[in-house]
Amino acid sequence: MRVRVAGRRVWFEGTGNPTLREEGDANDQQLADRLRELLVGWYGMPDSAKFRRRTLLAVVLVGHLLNQAFWGNPEGDPEILDEAVVLLDRYLLTP
């Protein structure tokens, strides 16, 4: 998708279509819910409103970092990818 300029623009900048934005938000929420369920079940993290919000924020933030990591490098910028791992670890596994 990054080979074509128009594809790159849609992928990284979006189309401005509210329906696509809603679908993206719903996808983020679904991923955050599944991640939270795993962390609550396997790691004993609290099943609270605060942790639900924190999990959603982590998904959104890491999604942005991944976009940045692959923006100009098809292999991904290793430093940004390392930071994404640190963010997830510290943000989700620290009480």
| pLDDT at 53 (0 to 100) | 96
How many CB atoms neighbour CB 93 within 10 A? 10
Instruction: Look up the CATH number of the domain holding residue 65.
Output: 1.10.357.10
| pLDDT at 22 (0 to 100) | 73
At residue 6 the predicted structure's pLDDT band, cuts being 50, 70 and 90, is very low
Whether the CB-CB separation of 3 and 10 falls below 8 Å is answered with no
Mean pLDDT of the chain: 84
Q: Pick 16 or 60 by higher pLDDT.
A: 60
Q: Tell me how far apart the terminal alpha carbons of the chain are, to the nearest angstrom.
A: 39
| Position 54 in a domain | yes
Give the range of the structural domain holding residue 71, as residue numbers without chain letter.
18-93
Give percent above pLDDT 90 in the chain.
60
What gap in Å lies between CA 53 and CA 50, rounded to an integer?
5
Domain count, the chain: 1
| pLDDT at residue 20 is higher than 50 | yes
Q: What is the value of pTM for the model shown?
A: 0.76
At residue 5 the predicted structure's pLDDT band, cuts being 50, 70 and 90, is very low
| Position 62 in a domain | yes
